[in-house]
Structure 1
């Protein structure tokens, strides 16, 4: 298991994982457009019970010879984010979820298709499937009807299991697309999150692939795992996750009837706090918005949520410098086009999406070593990027990045866990600076992030 994540980090991420606990679906009809997800939908979902035998994944202790075999116990962990997926359906019966459903006219949240798209396994369901299992094994691993019996057979290989329909979660792009279906949204029924559902009380949606994977980790990356599937690069997961998240946001925004809500743009894609600010008529009032050098938009316009653009810019500067300039210019052009008209914005989104895809492909092939990881940390907190931390969402991504990249250095044996623990206080202070979105102060956050990055830099 990775070294301990900050307690404040866990609290922040638990809040972000709460997107599983509120409502996670549409408030209207899903248009019939091509799916954006990378998840496997071909197999029948046979249910968690099909994985629960004591000779499979249902043991009380992780003492299996090949895999732990207590994976279901970890999935059901009642008191931490590790068990969030198993609680996803049950939470639909709590007062908050029911109130959200009532405001949206959905009836009961526990039976509304708009909620079940993310609070239970999607896909075709078999006879042993139980809705109250919540987000079960097959939501991540793919419908098991075609690979269940094969994956434990003598001589089975990971490649063979994938060929039979197992979702290849070792592939960073596949994993990111699979997670983003619920942790950002997709164009499938019950999986598009819109501004109305947020206004009705749904928690803010946030996602970072590597750190969230760590919270859900139910496997040991031992020698056997590495032989069968290869070693995970935490930095690659982080970087590819950022590129894929941007790709997903731009794809959905560009989709007709998803990027528009009546006469307004669909505000789900925009940064909440560029609109949700204090209003007063007092004579000495001063605007609280801070100019952002990465977003050339007129004052008073909502800004597209650029948290992934900012992180991608940091990753590109350190690991893909040949694409860094293009990403910067395409990002600025997209923001500027939003102030012109929707056709201009769609054209600019396509260009930026292409660059994000090129970065994802580059990162997938890259080897992120110690030097590259330290360089990304430096860039995340450096002056060229830090000036863009004017809003809460991007700052949350930054502190999660610093934590997950430090975690990656420890997991790879490039920094000792004892040394890393000595700077945990600095990382905690950066988390504290984004604990409360209503108390967020850009200058204070930048100072906290800079101190944390400086402490990590000293480990070099």
Structure 2
């Protein structure tokens, strides 16, 4: 996709992981009432954030046309653009606005029934994340209503990091549901590369205030924990899907699971060879073999060394065993991947139960920039994930009061330089990125 800025980080696609919506079928038992059902001026449709409990301007923020905060509302409309029609024509999908291969993620995915006010053209609406509202829409604003009661009636508990990750990953990585997997064929036809980081993207989409009332009802959010759980859930989701028939495409593996830029680099024929890939100490694979996209594995390993050290060694061992198995055959890779997925699932549970207080966020920054992790940033995808991690952990430190807003603003230039180093996937240079990342991290360490 190319990361020109945060505003260009694309919205796009867990199966059997903790915190998923029990099962996709459970989510579809209710009826989807549509965005209009939330849009009254006494509900979420005000023009100003002057509500007594919630902002009440959530719909306006969801529809914001010029920022990432409005990306969900724009998701369906992009299917009418030239690029979407070109992709659909290449793949023989017909009208992209009517193809489930597109609407599975560019609209609210409704396996259940739809109310009279539901409009597919609303894009990724409220219920895509909060769940079908027929069971809770009338009771969630009643006097004495509680978040736990709303959840018992079908509202999705997005305040729980593992639950939120399971919801987001459906369209920001992939799922077993129809139309919710970005395959290599879709990429080759022109779809942007999918990239995702739970806490950072949640912040960009946040339509609520984390004030005292929010803390009373749902607990105090922990950005460092949300980030770490998101990494664990992403690893689990990738490996779980890889073990399904989606892991292959005809005679070939499904290349969407592998690192794009290890193969998609410029090819030169000349007298002196030019090696265009770097050896990676975390991947014991034959030289030149396309590596599995391990961006989340790298970051989860760093998080585990801080927040779940008793599981970190096993995760690193299972990760190396999985890469080794990829050099053998698919059956070996699936078996090793399932072991690694189970370890990642255990880490998701451990990280969900932990606390990100104290020096945890500082320690995670150190782990990402430490000698066990930095040598693994040899590829574009992992480097993008790393700079997003440093960004979200810096924000966590501001929220915790460990770093002032002014000090964070002073570090922003260094963060932006690290983003600039991964601006163009066709011009990615590992050494330059690692130097930019180190510079940003040094600025954060000074404030510890």
The DSSP-based 3-state class of the residue aligned with 1:384 is coil
TM-score of the pair, normalised by structure 2: 0.96
The separation in 2 between residues aligned to 1:308 and 1:13, in whole angstroms, is 18
1:88, distance to aligned residue in structure 2 (A): 0.5
Aligned to 2:400: 412
Whether 2:247 is the aligned partner of 1:274: answer no
The separation in 2 between residues aligned to 1:456 and 1:260, in whole angstroms, is 43
Aligned to 2:240: 251
Aligned to 1:94: 81
Q: Deviations over 1:419-447 (max 9, x none)?
A: 11111111111111111111110011011
Aligned to 1:68: 55
Structure 1: segments with no counterpart, 5+ residues:
1-8, 25-32
Number of residue-to-residue matches in the alignment = 439
The DSSP-based 3-state class of the residue aligned with 1:334 is helix
TM alignment of 1:8-407, pairs within 5 A: 11-17=4-10, 19-20=11-12, 38=21, 40-123=27-110, 124=112, 125-255=114-244, 257-407=245-395
The separation in 2 between residues aligned to 1:136 and 1:349, in whole angstroms, is 34
- CA 79–92 in structure 1, closer or farther in 2 if over 3 Å, else same: same
1:285, distance to aligned residue in structure 2 (A): 2.5
The separation in 2 between residues aligned to 1:142 and 1:12, in whole angstroms, is 30
Q: Deviations over 1:313-347 (max 9, x none)?
A: 11011111111111111000000101101110111
Which stretch shifts more, 201-210 or 424-433? 424-433
Deviation >4 Å, runs of 4+: 33-37
1:41, distance to aligned residue in structure 2 (A): 2.6
The separation in 2 between residues aligned to 1:12 and 1:326, in whole angstroms, is 35
The separation in 2 between residues aligned to 1:433 and 1:159, in whole angstroms, is 44
1:11, distance to aligned residue in structure 2 (A): 4.8
1:14, distance to aligned residue in structure 2 (A): 2.6
- CA 385–35 in structure 1, closer or farther in 2 if over 3 Å, else same: closer
Tell me if the contact between 2:3 and 2:424 (Cα under 8 Å) persists in the aligned partners: no
The separation in 1 between residues aligned to 2:117 and 2:417, in whole angstroms, is 47
The separation in 1 between residues aligned to 2:183 and 2:15, in whole angstroms, is 18
TM-score of the pair, normalised by structure 1: 0.93
RMSD in angstroms over aligned alpha carbons?
1.5
The separation in 2 between residues aligned to 1:344 and 1:159, in whole angstroms, is 43
Tell me if the contact between 1:35 and 1:187 (Cα under 8 Å) persists in the aligned partners: no
- CA 34–238 in structure 1, closer or farther in 2 if over 3 Å, else same: closer
